């Protein structure tokens, strides 16, 4: 039985500090128990059970966290609906709608407490309130191994929205992003194709079934496989180099163009003239996702030859990564007011690479 001054979160009741029960739990140290909030911090002798080695004021050497008495458990809901159609004996097509949302997500705000209590510097205040939503159309074609071919094609078109302020920014910027919620983690297009094909040469195959000796050993046992990945660029979190908010936190820039141009060169991935520093003490109105980073479109291919040697098997394999030797650029610089802003200085994937391997199975 919980004490009368404790509450557990059931989704409709009070929330908590700590994790000592079936949910959050919290005990009030103010009001009728220890007087007014002005008496904070509470003497360690008044706490039951007593605190072992209590900290001594001032409390500025380590982080101090505060929680509202009504803090509630965050929760997430997920749902999906799929329709699957068989296409013959070895193929199937699946179309799905997938959704998810999260509510009461926790956010951490920095509050300067020194002005009203010199024993404290910065207090990290944790509270509920931020939402996120995910909706996606997923299409999948699947072919089980038949006639030497196995394949899987997957495509996802999705939309992700949230109202969570990234680390280092003033928490009020989350409200600036409303009502047009931003897309801090949004990757709208993801396409993956993978397949394996055993070449129809050799004994019992379509071609060369009558061959023997050296010819048979050379043409049979070959398989080719590949995987191709494509996904949209990352939403970019563009910030100013020097915030004028006077809060000790970062800020977004202002957008000065109705639509930000995208030259997509390594020297200027997007139009830098479309950004400006906000006025002093004003929040910038850039939204994460108004500019995206480089896309990824990569293909890896493998070719393998298996040869039976009595009851044993030898395999020679060639793997080629980034077959078409595309330059997969990393995200450009995202700090407005610096020389690296909008420039690409690295890649996220290496250039074409090949490796040759041998395996003996016995």
User: What are 109-123's pLDDT values in tens digits?
Assistant: 777 777 677 777 777
Burial tier of 288 (Cβ tally within 10 Å: 0-12, 13-18, 19+):
buried
Same domain, residue pair 118 and 185 = yes
Q: Where are the beta strands (DSSP E) in the chain?
A: 17-21, 23-25, 64-66, 75-86, 91-112, 122-146, 149-162, 189-198, 222-231, 239-240, 254-255, 275-276, 296-309, 312-321, 335-336, 353-361
pLDDT for res 165: 62
pLDDT under 70 in the chain at which residues?
Answer: 1-52, 54-55, 115, 164-184, 248
Same domain, 57 and 133: no
Look at residues 39, 73, 107 and tell me which one is the last residue of a structural domain.
73
Say whether both 9 and 99 belong to one domain. Answer: no
Same domain, 175 and 307: yes
Last residue of a domain, one of 20, 55, 73: 73
Do 56 and 103 fall within a single domain?
no
What confidence score (pLDDT) does residue 186 get? 83
CA distance 294 to 153: 23
Its domain, for residue 40, covers: 1-73
Residue 135 shares a structural domain with residue 266: yes
Residues 99 and 59 in one domain: no
Q: What is the pLDDT of residue 127?
A: 81
User: Domain end: 44, 73, 102, which one?
Assistant: 73
Residues 10 and 38 in one domain: yes
Q: Which tens digits make up the pLDDT trace of 291-336?
A: 999 999 999 999 999 888 888 889 999 999 999 999 999 999 999 9
Give the pLDDT confidence score for residue 4 in this predicted structure.
37
Answer yes or no: do 229 and 346 share one domain.
yes
Enter the DSSP assignment of 304: E
Predicted pLDDT of residue 179:
40
What predicted TM-score, i.e. pTM, was given to this entire model? 0.74
208 and 147 in one domain? yes
First to last CA, the chain: 64
Provide the pLDDT for residue 2.
37
């Amino acid at each position: 039985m919980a004490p009368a001054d404790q509450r557990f979160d059931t989704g409709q009741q009070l929330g908590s500090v700590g994790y000592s029960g079936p949910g959050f739990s919290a005990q009030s140290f103010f009001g009728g128990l220890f007087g007014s909030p002005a008496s904070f911090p509470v003497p360690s002798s008044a706490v039951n059970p007593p605190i072992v080695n209590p900290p001594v004021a001032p409390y500025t050497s380590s982080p101090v966290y505060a929680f509202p008495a009504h803090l509630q458990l965050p929760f997430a809901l997920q749902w999906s609906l799929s329709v699957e159609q068989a296409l013959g004996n070895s193929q199937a097509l699946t179309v799905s709608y997938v959704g998810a949302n999260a509510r009461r997500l926790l956010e951490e705000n920095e509050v300067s407490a020194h002005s009203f209590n010199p024993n404290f510097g910065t207090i990290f205040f944790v509270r509920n309130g931020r939402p996120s939503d995910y909706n996606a159309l997923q299409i999948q074609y699947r072919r089980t191994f038949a006639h030497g071919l196995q394949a899987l094609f997957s495509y996802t078109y999705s939309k992700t929205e949230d109202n969570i302020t990234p680390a280092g920014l003033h928490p009020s910027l989350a409200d600036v992003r409303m009502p047009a919620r931003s897309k801090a983690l949004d990757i709208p297009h993801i396409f993956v194709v993978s397949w394996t094909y055993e070449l129809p040469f050799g004994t019992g195959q379509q071609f060369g079934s009558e061959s023997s000796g050296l010819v048979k050993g050379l043409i049979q046992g070959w398989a080719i496989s590949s995987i191709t990945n494509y996904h949209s660029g990352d939403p970019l979190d563009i910030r100013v180099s020097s915030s004028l908010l006077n809060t000790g936190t970062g800020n977004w820039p202002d957008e000065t163009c109705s639509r930000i141009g995208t030259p997509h060169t390594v020297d200027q991935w997007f139009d830098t003239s479309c950004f400006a520093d906000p006025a002093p003490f004003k929040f910038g109105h850039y939204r994460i996702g108004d500019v995206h980073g480089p896309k990824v479109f990569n293909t890896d291919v493998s070719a393998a030859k298996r040869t039976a040697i009595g009851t044993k098997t030898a395999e020679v394999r060639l793997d080629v990564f980034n077959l078409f030797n595309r330059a997969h650029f990393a995200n450009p610089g995202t700090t407005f007011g610096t020389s690296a802003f909008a420039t690409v200085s690295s890649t996220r994937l290496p250039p074409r690479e090949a490796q040759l391997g041998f395996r003996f199975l016995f």
